[in-house]
Chains A and B, each alone.
Chain A
Amino acid sequence: MIKVEGVAKRYEGQARAALVQADIDIGKGEFVFLVGPSGSGKSTLLRLLTKQEEPDRGRIFVAGKDIGQMSSWKVPMLRRNIGNIFQDFKLLQTKTVAENVAFALEVIGRKRSVIASQVPQICSLVGLEDKMDKYPDQLSGGEQQRVSIARAFVNRPLIMLADEPTGNLDPQTSIGIMRLLDRINKTGTTVVMATHDRGIVDTMRKRVIELSHGNIVRDQHRGVYE
């Protein structure tokens, strides 16, 4: 599903490379944790997968397509197959829960009838069926992250990329979010999650890829944080 071959990336004006050498192969339906200290290259790797950044060298394949060769007008199609979840949720504050979720369907031109049927379904899946008319600032952090997950999953993407999704949440809420991601993964969606949360990684015992100074230093199935 995701193949990264010899990828390197250095940001302009930075002395040290964000990614020195990355080679990863992630299969369909896998759940992968990216771990490592801040600045190790986890977020850069996720940004490269959605073509928010371009690598300095190397090739990246998503769903069998070399995204480096992809013309810019095809990038939106790539992103429709990838759901994104962020530590700061990135919800639109002027839209309700239902509107935030519907937004992901509107931008790809889904019919109103389709949106009307899918949005309640997905809100129910994430446990927010009673809060569809609330605005983000009326929700707790955990609820906001559920909205973010609903928005990322409503298109039934092939891949979910989560950048520290529990970083702003308390342990109990984090468990709820992880259960949700696990359920999504069980539908066949590949999940790649960058995290610092040792407890979650150690409890779930999924594949762990560890980065350090832009290099992959460990790739372990049913791994732990360290």
Chain B
Amino acid sequence: MALRIDYLTKETTRNFLRNPALTIGNVLTVAISLTLLGIALTVFWGTANLKAEAESEVSFVVWLKTEDNGVVLTDPELEQITQDLRAKMEANPFIKDLNYVDRDKTLSEVQRYFKDAPEIIALISPDVVPTSFVVTPSKPDISIVNQVKDSLSGAPGIDRISVATDVIKEETRIASYISWISGGFAVVAAFAATLLMYNSIRTAVFARRKEIEVMRLVGATKWFVRIPFMFEGLLQGVLGAVASGVSIFLVNFFINEMFTSIPKFSTFILNFGQETLIVIAMLLIGSLLGASAAGVAVSKYLDA
């Protein structure tokens, strides 16, 4: 093939600068396509974060009795019930974590919750404040939660078990939908990016078909003709990807601004490492698409 580096550099630079409008058009096409793809990936990843967060929060509360048949339980009685229940739950393989919430903690939580209604707080006697276990299942799965709940039902000392099953189901269902939609959008955006890049590079190649014909006639090999075009496509892909990277960082900045004040959605915000990974992916995709689209586009004119 005998393609010299100085020839490659000279030809690529010249071709790149020869038709600035077409070059800028190609770079912008790549940038817009990759930005769409990057936003789709950002939403996909952010939603995956939300889903993981929702799943990690799957837990339920086992409330202990404060009285038995109208008689308030004494501290030793309550201590015995608590120990028996702890032992029973620790033996359960489907329970990953147990967190005991004593009267003081419960009371302070109630006081915090009703801090604007001191008259309600005044009505609460510390003796009747229930204690509880916050139980985390081994897997954030509703069926496991129900299984553990059933195994505890009827155990002595348990007043009731509170599980926010419907809320958890709804949260994970919505997160799954958003994941699927943004994932599908990412695939469509990647496909559109490929087509747009191929089309714009094909236009550039078409404008230089005479040059390709001459190259072939003076004895250039197919790869000698192809490589400068591929290099040019790669350069356009990289520049477009850099521009899309800036856009993606900006989009994340606005997402950050929007969601920071909403605790429920704060995990949707990608961290710097995740943003960087998306930008690196855009660079790789941009350069790969640019080079391969140019290679395919130029092949059409290499048969003669």
A interface residues with partner B (beta carbon < 8 Å): 50, 52, 73, 76-80, 84, 90-92, 94, 103-104, 106-109, 112, 151, 155
Contact = CB atoms under 8 A, between A and B. Distances in A.
B209 to A, nearest CB: 12
Given A52-B304, A109-B2, A109-B3, A103 B218 contact: yes
Nearest to A51: B304
Contact of B4 (A78, A79, A106): A106
Contacts of A155: 218-219
Nearest to A161: B217
Contacts of B210: 90, 92
B7 interface: yes
B159 interface: no
Nearest to A77: B219
Given A79-B217, A103-B218, A109-B4, 6 more contacts: A50-B217, A76-B219, A76-B221, A77-B219, A108-B2, A155-B218
A92 B220 CA distance: 15
Contacts of A77: 219
Q: Which of B211, B219, B221, B304 has the most CB of A within 10 A?
A: B219
Contacts of A94: 14, 18
A100 B218 CA distance: 11
Interface residues of B, number: 21
A147 B6 CA distance: 24
Contacts, number: 54
13 contacts: A52-B217, A76-B219, A76-B220, A79-B219, A80-B218, A84-B218, A94-B14, A94-B18, A106-B4, A108-B220, A109-B1, A112-B6, A155-B219
B211 A151 contact: no
Interface of B: 1-4, 6-7, 14, 18, 210-211, 213-221, 224, 304
A77 B220 CA distance: 9
A107 B6 contact: no
Contact of B7 (A52, A76, A80, A106): A106
A36 to B, nearest CB: 23
A84 B216 CA distance: 11
A107 B219 contact: yes
B32 to A, nearest CB: 29
Contacts of B217: 50, 52, 79, 84, 90
Given A108-B2, A109-B4, A112-B6, A151 B218 contact: yes
A119 to B, nearest CB: 14
A107 B14 contact: no
A103 B214 CA distance: 10
A108 B219 contact: yes
Contacts of A80: 218-219
B304 A107 contact: no
Contacts of B211: 92
A112 B210 CA distance: 25
A89 B220 CA distance: 18
A80 B2 CA distance: 14
Nearest to B210: A90
Nearest to B2: A109
A167 to B, nearest CB: 18
A76 to B, nearest CB: 5
